[in-house]
Amino acid sequence: MVHHWPAGRRQFIQSIGFGAALLTTRGLFAQTLTETARLTEGPFYPDRLPLDVDSDLLVINDAITPAVGEVTYLSGRILTTSGEPVRNATVEIWQCDARGSYIHSRGRNAQSLDSNFQGFGRFETGSSGEYAFRTIKPVPYTLRGQFRAPHIHMAINRNGRRIATTQAHIRGHADNARDGVLSRLGPSTRETVLVDFRKRPGSKLGELAATFDVVINQRAR
């Protein structure tokens, strides 16, 4: 099957605005929200940022060949524990490609790098604290002797400073029990970083959707 990726990229970018409109209809929470666990940035935050740092990690600039992997639409909101949206924050994500390699120069494995995967992206939150990315479903890897279950790194920056760093893990994945980062979290804290990856409604291509709302301490904002 031939994928018309440039058009898909445009549709994704256009859909961000539509998704934001839906998010703004949600009311603020009446009760205090549970803060999302702060997790390590890890050693593979890009040591050299790619030229393309937009929110679509599947296609670099206007290239025709997409990255390998299960297409995933990752979205959510950045909120405070009182339920207020965190506006004008820069959300960054980074992850390994489907071969288990990061774009970091020391984060490559023997299977080499998928040169079509952007590996890193940014999105500035709007009025409801919303963000949206198109990426791939994360995969497990072993790098520099350390095994990790599938995850996507996320950092939130505002007013020129890092206010939160966390990771999104796949709920129910068999490798979660082996992951050293997750194993250090208690059950209730671990729950804040587990995300459902489900078939995207209406998709005929097997695309996935994952929603990850990140809750930060009110003071951190």
* Residues present in the chain in total: 221
The model's confidence at residue 100, banded by pLDDT at 50, 70 and 90, is very high
pLDDT for 59 beyond 60: yes
pLDDT digits (tens, 9 = 90+) for 31-54: 589 999 999 999 999 999 999 999
- Residues 199, 177: Cα–Cα separation, whole Å: 24
Q: Determine if the pTM surpasses 0.85.
A: yes
Range of the domain at 188: 5-220
**Residue of 221, 162, 165, 218 lying closest to 193 (CA atoms):** 165
CATH of the domain at 71: 2.60.130.10
The model's confidence at residue 27, banded by pLDDT at 50, 70 and 90, is very low
Q: How many Cβ atoms are within 10 Å of 28's Cβ, its own excluded? A: 11
pLDDT for 13 beyond 80: no
Are 110 and 57 contacting, i.e. CB atoms less than 8 angstroms apart?
Answer: no
- Residues 79, 86: Cα–Cα separation, whole Å: 5
In this prediction, what percent of the chain has a pLDDT beyond 70?
A: 85
pLDDT digits (tens, 9 = 90+) for 127-181: 999 999 999 999 999 999 999 999 999 999 999 999 999 999 999 999 999 999 9
As a whole number, mean pLDDT of residues 183-195 equals 97
- Residues 85, 170: Cα–Cα separation, whole Å: 24
pLDDT for 220 beyond 80: no
Q: Is 7 left (phi over 0), alpha (psi -120 to 50) or beta?
A: alpha
Tell me how many domains the chain contains. Answer: 1
DSSP designation for 220: G
pLDDT for 7 beyond 90: no
pLDDT at 26: 46
Q: What is the torsion angle, in degrees rounded to the nearest 10, for the CA atoms of residue 221, residue 166, residue 41 and residue 185?
A: 120
Are 112 and 162 contacting, i.e. CB atoms less than 8 angstroms apart?
Answer: no
- Helix, strand, coil shares of the chain, percent, nearest 5, are 15, 30, 55
Are 103 and 93 contacting, i.e. CB atoms less than 8 angstroms apart?
Answer: no
